[in-house]
Amino acid sequence: MQKGKGRTSRIRRRKLCGSSESRGVNESHKSEFIELRKWLKARKFQDSNLAPACFPGTGRGLMSQTSLQEGQMIISLPESCLLTTDTVIRSYLGAYITKWKPPPSPLLALCTFLVSEKHAGHRSLWKPYLEILPKAYTCPVCLEPEVVNLLPKSLKAKAEEQRAHVQEFFASSRDFFSSLQPLFAEAVDSIFSYSALLWAWCTVNTRAVYLRPRQRECLSAEPDT
């Protein structure tokens, strides 16, 4: 029998194909990722090894286009590409945050910036990044009540606790949002709605990576990591 024509060879090829599919489908050709790469390059980020990809079962992520070695650095982002509380304080929101009492939490600062920049649309310097964020999330707090009721008792309690937490977060932040009215032509209530804050809250809580910054007096003592 000719080499590579037998049953064992066919099984091996199928396994290799399955393994290839599990690595994900490269999406770097999509316009939103082309714009994001240009934006990152303008902010001094250089990388040719990683590509955005869609992975079966887990969704979007980054795919290495070469083999990785033990101890090799995978990605390094310059501070100019990071959205942190320092980013927010250096922005047009900084003056409002520093004078607000009691000091806003780091989470509130980040959420406010995200909502404001999303509202700015094409005028936002962060537009290429904002464009690749999900339009909606499937966190427990986003589930409809009839779906939450189907969860096991312990998970249902956690989901309801999370919803109550975000609702309280929104209610306690409304006065701060009102103080930002001079920055907007529209009413702040229409910009910083519950749905807008929920989107920003989910964005921060599903996309944050650990970073220990210096403590700022204009923000609350809540750990800003």
Q: Considering the domain boundaries, does residue 8 fall inside one?
A: no
- Residue 40 maps to a domain: yes
Measured distance CA(28)–CA(111) in Å, rounded: 28
Q: Is the pLDDT of residue 122 over 90?
A: yes
Assign residue 138 the CATH number of its domain.
3.90.1410.10
- Any domain includes 222: no
- For the segment 160-175, the average pLDDT, to the nearest whole number, is 96
In sequence order, the β-bridge partners of residue 60 are 54
Domain count, the chain: 1
In sequence order, what are the residues at sequence separation of 6 or more whose Cβ sits closer than 8 angstroms to the Cβ of residue 72?
Answer: none
In a domain, 171, yes or no: yes
Look up the domain containing 172 and give its range: 29-44+81-209
Is residue 75 one of the residues assigned to a domain?
Answer: no
| 22 found inside a domain | no
Tens digits of residue pLDDT in 53-99: 999 988 889 999 899 999 999 999 899 999 999 999 999 999 999 99
pLDDT, one tens digit per residue, over 1-55 is: 444 555 665 555 444 444 445 678 999 999 999 999 999 999 999 887 899 999 9
Q: Is residue 34 part of a domain?
A: yes
pTM for the full model?
0.84
Q: CB neighbours of 193 closer than 8 A, spacing ≥ 6?
A: none
The verdict on residue 49 lying in a domain is no
**Beta carbons within 8 Å of 211's beta carbon, 6+ residues apart:** 82, 84, 225
